[in-house]
Structure 1
Amino acid sequence: MTRFDELKQKFPNVIPVPELRANVSIVELAVQYGYEHLPHKGRSRPVLQHPGHGDTIVIKNPQDASQQVYQRAGDFSDAGTIIDFVRNRLHTVFSVFNRPGQHEFRNITNVLYDYLKIDPDQVTRNRTAITIQPDPNPKQPFAKELLDIRSLEKDNYLLKRNIDQKIIESPEFKGKAVTQVTYLNTETGRTDDFMTAKANPDRKYLTFHNVAFPYYNGLSAEVMGFEVRNENLKQHAPGSDRQSSVFISNIPPKIERFVIVESVLDAMAHKQLQSIRGDDAFNTVYFSTGGQLTPEQVNTISRYVSSLEKAPNWKIELSFDDDTKGHRYDLQFVQKLVASHFPVSSTVATGNRTGLLLPEADAHQQIREALLNRVELFNTNVRSQIERADSDDITKKEISTQLINIGQVEQQKVIYVPETMTALRAISQALLELTGLGKRIELVKSCAKDFTDELKLNLDEAKRFTYAIVNDSGKVMYNSNSAATIQRTLILLQHHHTGEGQNVTFRAVSRQNNGWMKEQARIEIKDGSVHKASEQVEFKKQVLDEKSDRSQQATVKRQEEKRSQVPSTSPKIKHQ
């Protein structure tokens, strides 16, 4: 008797979904349909890959079908129960069951019913095809009392990463960084928790003083974990909730911005760069996802954003790292946020691409067609680059991988986005603009890989150059060690931007040793005319001193040239 027969005896009409989940393992179903186990990738959480579709999945709770969930490697939007696993693969692995005109859930249950009907011996073979090892380090619940948490020490890791004491004590981050002491037992070579170390005062320990940041899940005020950092350490404290929790900075009275980054260091560096450029307003909430992004973290951040009091013009800035992973996080976050306006589903894609199924309902037709037009426009630009490329076939082939492919499964359009920064950003930006959410959500990247790197570059420039000119956003446009050169460049910018109806502001600043900038001159242009122009007394004096020095040097040089041109009056000596 098959398991289907057994279940039908208990449930003659419809088999409940919980029973389907408890009786069909994702691992077994995957093996049945061609997935292969990759034992070197994971033992307690098996990793399986379909060679035909290039689909790699990670299984959590593999020994309990009722609690089993999966996630596609590198894509949090393709994750969930066996129902989600089948739904996201109806157009690929399970396409034979994807019957047009039939309700999607009926197609999903047909896949599960079919598996329940196979020979019990085959079920056994599928179950035993993968040897699941018990987790050697089972996850322990988070217990704050097992950690030695102290007030942040003066000599700490943040200072070594160029974070200024002003930022550590700023309204955003005051009290949000603490010291966590780790106790290494020199006899066992293992770390002991704080309670064990405290109970054994005579035991020899090596202690390491780390910086720790608390994580919260938005459902309670309790700390759900700590991100722990030091020169050679980047991890979360044992038992920390990494799935749902995020770091959140202190809350200002009225919020104008929510900035979402991958690490707390990036959040602090972002704040420091803003302060350096003259913006010290306490109006921003920073979130850090700890170097990852999960659907639950998106939900947690959304919960915070919804519940907090905001200014009328509030915005969300997605400021993940400026690399492929960061742009993938952008798209995953955007996909989740636009779901109520334009529900895009993930699907399996090959060749380092992200597959997105576009909604087929008539209500979504306008956005769907507009998005496809954006894709065609993007591809037209890529093709023009291919045509302009040299005859080198390798170069042309490399550029062609940037193309966004458009396909169709039954009546549903699907786009396959290459995992490149330009393509991922193009789709994220298009989804925001076409759904109208671009007014609230912006994609903002650092000038380097991340804001920590940008801060370091800024401090390096401060050591090399005394002066700079910055624009409205605080971006450095010109560097120089000469106040006179900066003044002359500022005048040229004024001439260039007047008379054209523009609204721009340029500031000349002097750099301090710690990177902070002090305004020395300003030109504000409104509607193409100079609205305001000012110079600090010290800047004027420096310009005059430089011009005086140059004038004296020029005078000395001219005198030397004249002396060299005067013929010598010394008597000539004749040689016999």
Structure 2
Amino acid sequence: MQQPREPELNFNQVKKDINLVDLVLTLGYQHNRAKSGSDIEKGKFHTFDYKGKPGLDQVIIYKNPAGDYLYFNRADDRDKGSVIDFLKHRIENPRIDGVVATPGKNIWASVIENAKRFLNLPAAERSTSHQLQQRIEPLQRGDTYVPDFLRKTTPLTDTAYLMHRGLSPETLASPLFTGRILNHVHTGQTKEGRPYKFVNTAFPQVYQDSIVGLEIKANGFKGQAADSLNSSALWLSNTNSKTTTLVVAESAIDALSHYQLKQPTNALYASTSGQVTDNKVTELKRLVENNNLKTVKLALDNNLEGHLFDTRLIVGLARPATPMGIVRTLPGLITVAIHSVQDEPVSRLHREAKAYNQQVLESYRKVAGPEAVPGPTLDIELIKASKVGDHSYQFHVPKRLETLAAFNQSLINAFPMVARVELEKSKANDWNDQLKEQLKEKSQAVGQEPTTAPEQEPRPRRGPRL
């Protein structure tokens, strides 16, 4: 006798039969009560960490006005939606146990197979969450998710740290920076049980128009707020009707210092928070395109790392017709690959590289003597070029400050960019150092002690995240 066929499972049935909260709990996610909802007992957004570790995976579940359970992932704006999306994304991006691709089947069939596996689990192996579900209230119009770190921020009133860094009240009061600098209040208890309270300075980090993190600074300390997504985010100033130029600095303090020194009227400031990633470059390009900006000023630190950041940003800002990138990084050398169907830009870059090499050679012979034969000592200081395929070239650039500065300018001269790109370096290591030196000189000129003597930018220190 033929066995009756199991009813076909479709997406609508999956959404009806599988509760998203039950599914994530069964898969090993843990409810992070401290970060869920407007208070611990009752709230609208509930955080779940895989195996209790947000670094492995984290989803935030809520109920829409129709009563459907949906989720999103702060670390990936594509990872959001229904239980179908949850399964699909984790099949395509494996990172948890219990959700896997089904051999020989496409992604949609794999979603159904994973749903079946969950529905066929014995009741004892499935987690249920009736009480938790009752506490998750449906969203109403205007409800938005507020990260835990933002609940600890207040409008900027304590400016002691910023003043200590040489920034003036006029700079901080500029409409460019309204709402872009906050105070972050950190409270706790000492080992002896005494309460304490720190008011730090916080710079919101923005990704696709949403605040996704905080860069926190105080005298002797800098770090990121817990759960910050710094790898994709930028600190940004406001714009105005005159904005035509994007100024990119390594830190918000440097951006503010640059403004105080230069007083531009047409600038949008961006800080990379000390690192330049592919995601940050993409965000900068999006800013240029969305705001129809005409010029990008790279005002990163005047040191080796700052010049390397320049290179990374320049290759990222090249027009799509001439893709380029850093394909190799060694302790003393970087390799930049360029694909160009037009010969002239490559020829120009090659000519300017040869001109730089000639300057290096002449400088070498001034010391070594005109008859000196170039050897390995000189060879490693020269920019070298090679053709590696049809319309494909590589330039090998020594990691020296003056070499990178020359090569970066030559890249800008030779190739079209998404906007006009300019290099602007401070006279000191960074713009805040230059501001401090200027304040010191002014004070000495009038025979006064400097009113501000900010210390050097502290290195990030390990410890509890705020």
User: Is 2:257 aligned against 1:269?
Assistant: yes
Q: Distance in 2 between matches of 1:344 and 1:438?
A: 13
Q: How does 1:554-565 map to 2 (within 5 A)?
A: none
Report Cα offsets for 1:80-125 as digits up to 9, x if no partner: xxxxxxxxxxxxxxxxxxxxxxxxxxxxxxxxxxxxxxxxxxxxxx
Counterpart position of 1:184: 188
Counterpart position of 1:307: 290
Q: Distance in 2 between matches of 1:68 and 1:162?
A: 48
Q: How does 1:437-448 map to 2 (within 5 A)?
A: 437=417, 440-448=420-428
How far the C-alpha of 1:377 sits from its partner, in A, is 1.3
SS of the residue 1:224 aligns to: strand
Q: Is the 8 A contact 2:316 2:325 kept in 1?
A: no
Q: Distance in 1 between matches of 2:332 and 2:176?
A: 39
Q: TM-score, normalised by structure 2?
A: 0.60
| Matching residue's letter, 1:289 | T
| Matching residue's letter, 2:198 | F
Report Cα offsets for 1:487-540 as digits up to 9, x if no partner: xxxxxxxxxxxxxxxxxxxxxxxx99879xxxxxxxxxxxxxxxxxxxxxxxxx
Q: 1:227 aligns with which of 202, 215, 232?
A: 215
Counterpart position of 2:236: 248
Q: Distance in 2 between matches of 1:416 and 1:424?
A: 11
Report Cα offsets for 1:165-190 as digits up to 9, x if no partner: 111111111222111112233239xx
Counterpart position of 1:382: 360
Report Cα offsets for 1:459-492 as digits up to 9, x if no partner: 11101225xxxxxxxxxxxxxx9xxxxxxxxxxx
Q: 2:199 aligns with which of 209, 214, 229?
A: 209
Q: Are the structure 2 counterparts of residues 184 and 419 from structure 1 closer, same or farther at C-alpha, using a change threshold of 3 Å?
A: farther
Q: Distance in 2 between matches of 1:259 and 1:212?
A: 20
User: Is 2:310 aligned against 1:330?
Assistant: yes
Q: Distance in 1 between matches of 2:331 and 2:180?
A: 42
Q: How does 1:21-32 map to 2 (within 5 A)?
A: none
How far the C-alpha of 1:438 sits from its partner, in A, is 9.8
SS of the residue 2:177 aligns to: coil
Q: Is the 8 A contact 2:319 2:416 kept in 1?
A: no
Counterpart position of 2:154: 150
Q: Is the 8 A contact 1:142 1:224 kept in 2?
A: no
Q: Distance in 1 between matches of 2:328 and 2:92?
A: 24
Q: Distance in 2 between matches of 1:170 and 1:349?
A: 40
Counterpart position of 2:409: 429
Higher relative contact order (CA 8 A, sep 6+): 2
Q: Are the structure 2 counterparts of residues 257 and 146 from structure 1 closer, same or farther at C-alpha, using a change threshold of 3 Å?
A: closer
How far the C-alpha of 1:229 sits from its partner, in A, is 0.3
User: Is 2:152 aligned against 1:169?
Assistant: no
Q: Are the structure 2 counterparts of residues 66 and 381 from structure 1 closer, same or farther at C-alpha, using a change threshold of 3 Å?
A: farther
Q: Distance in 1 between matches of 2:438 and 2:156?
A: 26
Q: How does 1:444-463 map to 2 (within 5 A)?
A: 444-463=424-443
Q: Distance in 2 between matches of 1:329 and 1:401?
A: 21
Gaps of 5+ in 1: 1-43, 46-63, 70-140, 189-202, 467-480, 482-510, 516-576
Q: Are the structure 2 counterparts of residues 382 and 144 from structure 1 closer, same or farther at C-alpha, using a change threshold of 3 Å?
A: same
When structure 1 is superposed on structure 2, of 405-414 and 444-453 the one drifting more is: 405-414
Q: Is the 8 A contact 2:288 2:419 kept in 1?
A: no
Counterpart position of 1:293: 276
Q: Distance in 1 between matches of 2:356 and 2:155?
A: 52
Q: Distance in 1 between matches of 2:295 and 2:166?
A: 28
How far the C-alpha of 1:68 sits from its partner, in A, is 8.4
SS of the residue 1:172 aligns to: helix
| Matching residue's letter, 1:298 | V
Q: Distance in 1 between matches of 2:426 and 2:358?
A: 28
Report Cα offsets for 1:325-346 as digits up to 9, x if no partner: 1111111111011142422243
Gaps of 5+ in 2: 1-54, 57-89, 96-144, 453-466
Q: Is the 8 A contact 2:319 2:417 kept in 1?
A: no
| Matching residue's letter, 1:388 | K
CA RMSD of aligned residues (A): 3.3
Q: 1:403 aligns with which of 375, 379, 382?
A: 382
How far the C-alpha of 1:66 sits from its partner, in A, is 6.6
Q: Are the structure 2 counterparts of residues 453 and 212 from structure 1 closer, same or farther at C-alpha, using a change threshold of 3 Å?
A: same
SS of the residue 2:176 aligns to: coil
Q: Is the 8 A contact 1:147 1:180 kept in 2?
A: no
User: Is 2:418 aligned against 1:414?
Assistant: no
Q: Are the structure 2 counterparts of residues 142 and 66 from structure 1 closer, same or farther at C-alpha, using a change threshold of 3 Å?
A: farther
Report Cα offsets for 1:380-401 as digits up to 9, x if no partner: 111111111146x9x9866553
SS of the residue 2:297 aligns to: strand
Q: Distance in 2 between matches of 1:463 and 1:68?
A: 60
SS of the residue 1:267 aligns to: helix
Counterpart position of 1:284: 267
Q: Distance in 1 between matches of 2:349 and 2:200?
A: 47
